[in-house]
Amino acid sequence: MNEQPIDITHSDEPAVDRRSFLKIAGIAVGALTVAELGGIGLAYLHPRTAEGDFGSVITAGAVDDFPPGSVTHVTNGRFYLTRFDDGGFLALHQRCTHLGCTVPWDQATEQFVCPCHNSQFDDAGSVLNPPAPRPLDRFAVTIDAGMVLIDTSSAIARDDFDGSQVVYA
Amino acid sequence: MRRRATISPDTTNRTAAETGLDRARKRLKPPPVPTDDRARSRLVLDTMILHLHPARIPQRTLKWTYTWGLGGLAALLVTMLVTTGVLLLTNYTPTAPDAYLSILALRSNVWFGDLLRNVHHWSANLLIVVAVLHLLRVFFTGAYRPPREVNWIFGIVMLLLILGANFTGYLLPWDQLAFWAITVGTSLISYVPFIGGWLGSLLLGGPEVSGATLLNFYALHISFVPLSLFVLMALHFWRVRKDGGLTLPRAAGEAPVEKPRRVTTIPYLIRRETVWALSWIAIILTFSVFVSAPLEGIADPNLSPNPAKAPWYFMGLQELLLHFHPFVAAIVIPSLALAGIISLPFLDHLTDHEGIWFRSGRGRSLAMLAAGCSLALSSAWIVADDLFLDWAAWLGNWPTIISNGFIPLAIAVMVLALLDLWVDKGLDGTLEERVLFLFTFLAVSLVVLTIVGIFFRGPGMELMWPWSIASGH
């Protein structure tokens, strides 16, 4: 064995020598730098939200403004407000779930028909005709003091329409 | 450091008084300068040209019908786009909805504003066509094989950047055409697995195409994309020199040329380049005088036009979307195509037939056969799918991504495999002939899809004759 009492580099224990320590430290600092700058960059580019328009909570009107069995286009909120025959409300994002075109409401056939690829939806947003892969997204509806409020901050994707999505006054 | 002790033989002839410093000084001394102005300016120009081109080139590579001057034309178009683009910046406001108003003002209030916009628009569109034709030329003459595989990949990345430049530029006029083409185009991103939604809203700067999107696209269009393109162009030109210049054209069956006859770049190549460039500048200017770039009404997020079409170079993709689930049409198929095209020089790497159009006389016939098969099969598929194929209904229990996505894709792949088997066994094709056949088949399919998408899709994206669309029904 070695005569020298203290010699880290020649001991049998696996120790990190100077060279590889610097290399590892260098890589770690480099990775940290990239992560930091990447994080800052992504945070900087993160979508900015506009106040008071689409993306905020929008007051569509009083409950009685919407007769049962009607579909109303609220353009500044980018949604249709459906009031079913039983008086329930459902807010549907106007954006086709296929490729994002705005779907116009056709009162004669009582359908949304997408002009881009001919997807069709009923007044609850359910798909009547593909290629749309899922029903129209909805927005959360709340009714406060007789007014219908729609939170357009996030469109809620759904696989099917069911009664729990309908809000009553 | 130790001083080198050996003395090379040629130094023994020099006079003893000449030191290393003397020799260096002699080397740095400029060549004799011509005395008259004309010769002096020629010298400056010539040395500048020789930074880009070699002094002498094989005479064969000047052959017109070999390169069709496509690479040079692409470089010319980029130059024109940068020039007109910088000028357009002085009259453009990148905010919504002022962007549209600034385009209107450019067209009516600015001297030659409309002409400048048209030149920029048509050059950009022509650049896509030229870049794709350049890619096809390089493929069909076998000029992508070793040692040129790296340059092939640079070329593909540049094609993607050109598409990116066109796509980001498409939004800037902020008219209905721009708004909805970008809405449809960027909606494809949401089908990227896991990160699609996040990536889409990052690019758009929000949940839908808006003023934030316009600014993002503007930034990409005038800085990131062109800068990346310049770097890649420099690399591309450098690789052309490093790989020994262009491949030498030869007739089918002709043996490789060992020592090609060379001519000086000035004037033989430069004269041709100048004629070609000036002709195209004249063509584009004339065209732009008479044909205006499209501009519709101001963007309205609440009203999709019918039909809402993507930019023409993405119409092949949009046509695919009518036949496959979006994940398959917009993600799986383009990824496979990109992977395939990048791996071409590694798959098909024998350089025996380098410089021969379609590899051989037989190769030419095979390519024609592939084009014919593709024309027939692609059109038949489109019509059949429109009329009676209804996977989603037939396989109603399955999710549409399977029934209308992977099942038709599997059938398409099977048809390709059968065709390949036929070329391999039935026609006794070599590897390069099989690659040639499949590539030609798929390239023609893309052309068919694009043409159908542009000209044969009317309101509601219904399949109809171009003249019925033009007449309004």
Three-state SS for B29?
coil
pLDDT at B22 over 50: yes
In order of start, what are the domains of chain B with their CATH numbers? 52-254+262-302 (1.20.810.10), 306-473 (no CATH)
A chain contacts of residue B186, beta-carbon cutoff 8 Å? 100
Q: Which of A61-75, B227-241, B247-261 has the highest mean pLDDT?
A: B227-241
Which of the following CATH numbers is that of domain A57-165: 3.90.1150.10, 2.102.10.10, 3.40.120.10, 3.30.360.10?
Answer: 2.102.10.10
* Helix or strand run (H / E) with residue B455: helix B431-455
Q: Which two tokens stand for residue B43?
A: 């010298």
pLDDT confidence band for B352 (50 / 70 / 90): confident
| B459 interface with A at CB cutoff 8 Å | yes
Q: Where are the beta strands (DSSP E) in chain A?
A: 57-62, 70-74, 79-83, 89-93, 105-106, 111-113, 120-121, 127-129, 138-144, 147-156
Distance CA B433, CA B420 (A): 10
Which of A48, A55, A117 is opposite residue B322, by nearest beta carbon?
A: A117
Which pLDDT tens digit goes with each residue over B382-429?
A: 999 888 777 767 777 777 788 788 888 999 999 999 999 999 998 988
pLDDT of residue B3: 47
CB contact under 8 A, B202 and A94: no
pLDDT at B88 over 90: yes
Three-state SS for B444?
helix
CA distance between the termini of chain A: 89
pLDDT at A10 over 70: no
Least confident of B184-188, B291-295, B443-447: B184-188
CB A94 within 8 A of CB A78: yes
Distance CA B388, CA B251 (A): 47
Q: How far is CA A58 from CA A142, A143, B303, B321, B373, in A?
A: 10, 12, 20, 34, 56
Distance CA B424, CA A125 (A): 51
Matching residue, tokens 């993306």: A55
B chain contacts of residue A118, beta-carbon cutoff 8 Å? 460-462
Query: What value, to the nearest 5°, has the Cα angle with vertex B409 and ends B404 and B414?
Result: 140
**How distant is the Cα of B206 from the closest Cα of chain A, in angstroms?**
5
- Give pTM, 2 decimals: 0.85
**DSSP secondary structure string for all residues of B200-249:** HHHHHTSSSS-HHHHHHHHHIIIIIHHHHHHHHHHHHHHHHHHTTSSPPP
Three-state SS for B316?
helix
CB B91 within 8 A of CB B115: no
CA-nearest of B212, B188, B192, B191 to B202 is B212
Q: Which two tokens stand for residue B412?
A: 């398409």
pLDDT confidence band for B264 (50 / 70 / 90): very high
Distance CA B1, CA A126 (A): 81
CB under 8 Å to A139, separation ≥6 — which residues? A77, A79, A91, A92, A93, A150, A151, A152, A154, A155, A156
ipTM given for this complex = 0.77
pLDDT confidence band for B6 (50 / 70 / 90): very low
pLDDT over 70 percentage in chain B: 95
Q: Which two tokens stand for residue B80?
A: 């024109």
CB contact under 8 A, B304 and A46: no
B chain contacts of residue A104, beta-carbon cutoff 8 Å? 303-304
Averaged over B78-101, what is the pLDDT? 95
Residues shown for chain B: 473
Residue A112 neighbours by CB distance under 10 Å: 25
CB A148 within 8 A of CB A58: no
CB contact under 8 A, B206 and A95: no
Domain limits, chain A: 8-45, 57-165
pLDDT of residue B11: 47
The per-residue pLDDT of chain B, averaged, comes to 89
* Helix or strand run (H / E) with residue B38: helix B37-52
CB contact under 8 A, A99 and B326: yes
Three-state SS for B310?
coil
Most B CBs within 10 Å, among A99, A114, A117, to test the B interface: A99
CB B414 within 8 A of CB B398: no
pLDDT confidence band for B258 (50 / 70 / 90): confident
